A and B are shown apart, each in its own frame.
Chain A
Amino acid sequence: MTLAMNVVQVLLLILMAPLVRGVIARLKARIQNRRGASVWRPYSDLLKLFRKEDLVPPSASFVFRLAPIVVFTATLVVAAFVPLLHGSALLNATGDFVLLVYLLALGRFFLMLGAMDGGSSFGGMGASREALVSTLAEAPFLLALMSVAIAAHTSSIAGMVRWTMGQNFFQFSAVHALAFVAMALVSIAETGRMPVDNPTTHLELTMIHEAMVLEYSGPSLALIEWASGIKLTVVMALLIALFAPWGMASSLSPLAIAIASLVLLLKMTALVVALALVESSVAKLRMYLVPDFLGVASALAILAVVFTALMR
């Protein structure tokens, strides 16, 4: 029963991902006084891309074809780590938070390889920028997760979630507050959202993710786009699970699951609205200010880790 529930969680994360992107795009359009495309648009986009021909540049090697598959698989495995409806996940005992961080890094690494293998100058530029951003984002991401892990005395994601569920809702700990802000800043960089990277442009010279996928087409592009959608949803689910897991089902009764689904829907909606508002109100940072942005996250994450010792 628990196993079935865990499989359902992973499937839900994967299938929900395009919808989350669609809703964000729609909300941003509404904020900008446009009507915007339907929220189901990403699904039809994916369907369209999967039916199209996969064009490979003549100079590209097998890495170019391999990269989207590795990116998608790595993201899929990460999705199996995150508890969604109850305090357990499919890969509960198999790996810890370090594995989660580096599986995401593996996906990014192969995306960079594929971008450079494509042979266009934009691909190389995007890859080098991605390398810069991901190098700077790795330390705060790891440290923020580590501070929660130290506080919870466990390294498994599901264990941390269960510990937080047992905490008092009103007892704000400094560790959690600092780690949350650091994680939120890192997830913006990690998922390529607004102040760091603009996900809606193919025209800017400063693009990061879009520059890397410029050479991809057809099913390969569909896999990459779907993977980045899953990544966004997984990071949002991780934020919810680690810092506001209250309302998750503690037993597997249908009623508890129903309540948990409803609460999850509310939290996801709140996060999506917040993301759309932030993305519509801030300007993209200059590339040279991104290290500064992630430096703030690093400082907060380091302070969070030190506070685990101070607040004992």
Chain B
Amino acid sequence: MGLFETAAAKALASSGVFLFMTVLLIAAAKRTSTCIALFSVQSLVITAQIVAASGMHHLREGFAIAALVLIVKVIAIPYALHRIVEELKVPRDVSSSTSSSQSVFIAAGLILLSFFAVRPYAGVLGGDQAMLAASVALVLTGGFLMISRKKALMQVVGLLVLDNGIFLAALTTTFGMPLVIEIGIVFDLLMGVFLMGLFVFRIRDTFNHADVSKMRRLRG
């Protein structure tokens, strides 16, 4: 067993832990920029996992997908979001409707929930149980972030975390989707982030804030 295989096996075995930590830290974070940085770290963990998985199973495509994820999710999207935060010039906190300890308690509860949710399927799907649970937990916490954070930009971060969860679920159950589909998804996401960014600017210019909880009149 070579050095790469050992490192890859360790990366696969321990990346679940890192993903849980990033989820809990995003729930605890008080600033939008911290959340964006943590999303970047989370994507980096997933990139390492793709490299490890494709190295173990000798998949050429995997490395291309990993490079794509690295460029788009670890560098481009976080950079764009950081720029948006700087340009927006609104208060930098996430203005959550739950306190950070409540958010961490809820995120911890969601992690436990996802463990019990994947327990019946872990044997059938053949993936690592912790990995599957991590992907479900990412989806759930992404949704929770979108609901509880009032800043329009945090909805984007929540969506990105959710997307990371779906990506991870595909990776753990079927070693990822074909390259063409993967490229499509990633660029879709990139366009989505830019559109949402523009949208946040429009909200700020029209209402003088970026707080979605104050947009009551939009109700149908």
Chain A residues with CB under 8 Å of chain B are: 170-174, 177-178, 181, 291-296, 298-300, 302-303, 306, 310-311
B183 within 8 A of A: no
Q: Provide the residues of chain A in CB contact with B70, threshold 8 Å.
A: none
Contacts of B28 in A (CB 8 A): 296
Q: Determine the distance from Cα of A302 to Cα of B20 in the docked complex, in whole angstroms.
A: 14
Residues of B within 8 A of A177 (CB): 17-18, 20-21
A295-B17 contact, Cβ under 8 Å, with A170-B10, A311-B130: no
Residue in A closest to B11 when the chains form the complex, CB atoms: A170
Q: Contact check, A299 vs B104: say whether CB atoms are below 8 A apart.
A: yes
Which residue from B16, B20, B100 sits with its C-beta under 8 Å from A296? Answer: B100
Contacts A299-B101, A300-B24 known; list 5 others, CB within 8 Å. A173-B17, A295-B99, A296-B28, A303-B112, A310-B115
Are B21 and A181 within 8 A (Cβ)?
yes
- Chain B interface mostly helix, strand, loop or mixed? helix
Contact surface of B with A, Cβ cutoff 8 Å: 10, 13-14, 16-18, 20-21, 24, 28, 99-102, 104-105, 107-108, 111-112, 115, 130
Cβ of A186 to closest chain B Cβ, rounded Å: 13
Q: Which residue of B lies closest to A180 (CB)?
A: B21
Q: How far is the CA of A225 from the CA of B30 in the complex (A)?
A: 34
Shortest C-beta distance, B18 to chain A (Å), equals 8
Q: Is the CB of A298 within 8 A of B101?
A: yes
Interface centre among B28, B99, B101, B112 (most CB of A within 10 A): B101
Chain B residues near A174 (CB, 8 Å)? Answer: 16-17, 20, 130
Query: Chain B residues near A292 (CB, 8 Å)?
Result: 99-101
8 nearest CB pairs, A to B: A295-B101, A172-B14, A299-B104, A303-B108, A170-B10, A299-B105, A174-B17, A292-B101
CB proximity of B19 to chain A, nearest CB, Å:
10
